[in-house]
Structure 1
Amino acid sequence: MFTCWQVDDTRLCSAGASLCCLFLVLLQLHCSLSQKSEGALTVVENPEGGRGVDEEEEVTVDDDDGVFEVVQPNEQWQTLKPGQAVPAGSHVRLNLQTGEREVRLGEEQLKYWTQQHREEEKSRSSIDPVELKRAMKKIKEDQSSQDSAPSGFRPLDELKKDMADLDLLVETDVQIMRRLLDQFNSSNSTVEQRLSILQELEYLVHQVDNAQTLCAMGGLSFILHGLNSSDVRIQENSALVLGSAVASNPVVQVQAVEGGALQTLLTTLVTTQPLNVKKKVLFALACLLRHFPYAQHHFLSHGGLQILSEFFRADAGGILRTRIVTMLYDMISEKELISQTGLDPVQDPAHAERLRQYSQVSLQEKLMEEGWCSLVPQLLQSTEHDYREKALRALLAMTPVCLDQYRSDGALLGSLLDLKLQYSELIQSEMILGEETSYFTEMVELIDSLQVKVK
């Protein structure tokens, strides 16, 4: 036997413990099977004191008719019909008297609910797929009508014409160099303007094609003329442009030698005084001679080594000495490299010609004749590690012709012993401190190699 009572319009039944539990389980199972809901239901205590069922997930319903309705809950309990869904966060309960589900706003939603929200949500409570398709079709039709309508853009031919006119305002590198050369050659150009022109040209001629184009325009003669200028700034920047143009550019190297660049550079070295100009002229000279045996042959025949030896003796600071020794070392090394390459003539038909040209360059014999076997060791007295390294490498390269003089040069032998002791101590110090010692180790190896050859 059991009794029933009414609480908040919900009739609850009570019986014996086992009978009541069985009734609730059967009733819950029956209601779950009768609804098209995928949400899980749990029994909760509702705020009005009744017993209900609250969903833990948003309810989603598959409607075979193609139309689904989302019930927008409010602050009152509403009955949910089959096929209806509710937003997430809503409170859903099962009325045990009627067996129907009811819904209302959640506690958090109730705090912010207003009449305006009810009216707005009511207008969007249902969505009809048919109406949605009609709206999408209308959007496509509107888009098609806009595409077919006359546009406010200008015709393509007119745009092409304007772009062609704009191209006339865009200068290519060739046009820029032509304009710069005209300005440089103009009698109205000031020294400052010419300096600015040379700086722009130096930037442009780093590209191989631009350097060759500059020579084809006759720009090389203007640059060589700048080396003879009375203004040392024009001399310095002209030498920089020349060096950048001939660097790794055989075409420009040939034209420069044929245009008298070698003689102009040597003359500028002899006549100029400022150190900055001499450094830039040495830079241009080194670029002109590198990998160019024809220019090296003319350099030696025009007394180039004698001029450099005079500068070496006069340079007490060592800046020019280092540049000169480096240039000589590069010339010796590249000749040895080409003779030791041993390339297949079929694969490299120009190899025989290069060998022939380098054979005409008697560089090491000239070095011994001009006294370089005793000049280069003087650079070891420098306090700069880089200067010493350049001197050691040059001394090793000159060993085939200078060995007898090395053995009789007591100052050189003493310098080698002192340097080896010094760099050995530096290696020990760096090892204690945990620093890198590879550079000092390499210096010791260079000294050891030279001492072995001298013995």
Structure 2
Amino acid sequence: MRLTTSNARGASFSYVTLTLLLWMHCCHIASIFGQESALILVENTEGGEEEEVRVDEDEGDLDAVQPTEDWQTLKPGQAVPAGSHVRLNLQTGQREVRLGEQQLKYWTQEHGEAEETQSSFSPDELKRAMKKIQEDMNPDSVAYKYRPLEELKRDMAQLELLVETDAQIMRRLLTQFNSSNSTTEQRLNILLELEYLVHQVDNAQTLCSLGGLQFMLEGLNSSDFRLQESSAFVLGSALASNPVVQVKAVESGALQMLLTTLATAQPFQVKKKVLFAVASLLRHFPYAQRHFLSHGGLQVLSELFRADGGGVLRTRIVTMLYDMISEKELISQAGLDLVLDASHEERVRQYSMVSLQEELLEKGWCSLVPQLLESTEHDYREKALRALLAMAPVCLEQYRSDSSLLGSLLSLRDQYQDMAQSEMIIGDENSYFAEIVELIDALEVKMK
């Protein structure tokens, strides 16, 4: 049954009339199924109107249709289960049926329970799984602590991920760095990644075995100061506390290259990173310290010290000299109390060949270091006082004859005594300024 309206009849065919006709039609449907039905008017989005009828009855012996969750056409004389939705399609004039809300909910729950039942495990499978879990969770088992590398690679391969060791990463980065297609920005990013990796001792040694040390030295000769700075940074990080890399660097001529870079006109940032690399190469390595002195290293540093007006490079130079003096003294003092083994005796012998104190006196450092006391930075002054105390065995005569040094010590002592007193008032037990006063007092005692 299809109802249409036209413009000519629209005025006379009222809403009440349309409702009455639909109600009569639903009564006809209800008479077929033997009980009342609920009538609902639903607006059709394509124009016109359609009705939806909710029918509740038993199927009996009639030709019954099995509704689904989609609308399907209901043939004449067919019965539907109780709770189904029945509607009259006003466009086609045919009745349609689908599952009611309660039926659909029950069908969904029943379907989900069936899937859960199908996916359940047998008792034997559950026992085996629980036994496997208990074995893997045993803290003493190897499987609990580690997983085989091949198993990890297989799992990663399934996830379409590439597993690379640090050595493979560094090899790839060096290949990209040496490629003629790489831009300066790409090379800078590669150096940044390498600097992060070489903080591990093994990675730094692997980088050298892959030829990376030569790439860093070539970077120091680059015309781009950014590549020079980054190359020196990677080199210094690889050298730090790594004797294997220190030996290879000396053998490859890295010390001469670094001193040449410091002696030529370079931007401040480049010299700062190169100075870091020099300090890393010399620390706890008497063989390199001896070569440093024989190649005019102190002369290069003295020129750099005089040219630095800001005090940053001066402080780094003085700190490096202090470290070299202190580590030699510690080695000598340890030899007085301990039973020396062969390696310790060799280190003592090597340090005895480093005449650093005499070189400092000869190159004028006894008058250079006191200049750092003129800085306004407390940290710079502290570093200078520690270096002056370490150099005192060879510099006392010059200290005593240096009137400006005596005046600076008196002025600094009064200043830091007041600051230390202020720290004590506020209850600071570990007074930084009191420590500086102690350094000044110790130096004055030596100079008397």
1:295 deviates by: 0.4
2:249·2:255 contact (CA, 8 Å) conserved in 1?
yes
Q: Separation in 1 of the partners of 2:405 and 2:265?
A: 33
1:346 deviates by: 5.9
1:376·1:394 contact (CA, 8 Å) conserved in 2?
yes
Counterpart of 1:308 in structure 2 is: 301
Residues 193-223 of structure 1 deviation map (CA, whole Å, 9 limit, x = unaligned): 0000000000000000000001011110001
Counterpart of 2:15 in structure 1 is: none
1:271 deviates by: 1.8
Residues 277-330 of structure 1 deviation map (CA, whole Å, 9 limit, x = unaligned): 111000010000000000000000000000000011111111110000000000
Work out whether 1:199 is the aligned partner of 2:177: no
Q: Separation in 1 of the partners of 2:246 and 2:364?
A: 29
Q: Separation in 1 of the partners of 2:155 and 2:424?
A: 66
1:164 deviates by: 8.1
Residue of structure 2 aligned with 1:263, choices 253, 256, 280: 256
Q: Separation in 2 of the partners of 1:207 and 1:398?
A: 34
1:272·1:278 contact (CA, 8 Å) conserved in 2?
no
1:434 deviates by: 4.1
Q: Separation in 1 of the partners of 2:152 and 2:316?
A: 55
1:343·1:351 contact (CA, 8 Å) conserved in 2?
no
Work out whether 1:349 is the aligned partner of 2:364: no
Letter in 2 for 1:417: L
Work out whether 1:408 is the aligned partner of 2:386: no
Alignment CA distance shift 1:191-1:428 (3 Å): same
Q: Separation in 2 of the partners of 1:288 and 1:394?
A: 20
2:424·2:431 contact (CA, 8 Å) conserved in 1?
no
Structure with bigger gyration radius: 1
Work out whether 1:425 is the aligned partner of 2:403: no
Helix, strand or coil at the partner of 1:174: helix
TM-score, normalised to structure 1's length?
0.64
Q: Separation in 2 of the partners of 1:429 and 1:360?
A: 47
Counterpart of 1:73 in structure 2 is: none
Where in structure 2 are the equivalents of 1:278-427 lying within 5 Å?
A: 278-342=271-335, 348-427=341-420
1:438 deviates by: 1.2
Identity of matched residues, %? 75
Comparing 263-272 and 316-325, the one that deviates more: 263-272
Q: RMSD in angstroms over aligned alpha carbons? A: 2.3
Letter in 2 for 1:144: S
Residue of structure 2 aligned with 1:249, choices 237, 242, 266: 242
Letter in 2 for 1:423: Y
Counterpart of 1:188 in structure 2 is: 181
Letter in 1 for 2:176: Q
Helix, strand or coil at the partner of 2:342: coil
Work out whether 1:221 is the aligned partner of 2:224: no
Comparing 187-196 and 346-355, the one that deviates more: 346-355
2:420·2:432 contact (CA, 8 Å) conserved in 1?
no
1:163 deviates by: 3.8
Counterpart of 1:144 in structure 2 is: 122
2:153·2:163 contact (CA, 8 Å) conserved in 1?
no
User: Which sections of structure 2, spanning at least 5 residues, go unmatched?
Assistant: 1-116, 127-150
TM-score, normalised to structure 2's length?
0.65
Counterpart of 1:26 in structure 2 is: none
Helix, strand or coil at the partner of 1:213: helix
Helix, strand or coil at the partner of 2:314: helix
1:172 deviates by: 0.6
Residues 370-425 of structure 1 deviation map (CA, whole Å, 9 limit, x = unaligned): 00000000111111100000000000000010010001111111111111100111
1:199·1:237 contact (CA, 8 Å) conserved in 2?
yes
Helix, strand or coil at the partner of 1:305: helix
Q: Separation in 2 of the partners of 1:216 and 1:426?
A: 53
1:226·1:234 contact (CA, 8 Å) conserved in 2?
yes
2:225·2:270 contact (CA, 8 Å) conserved in 1?
yes
Letter in 1 for 2:243: P
Letter in 1 for 2:245: V
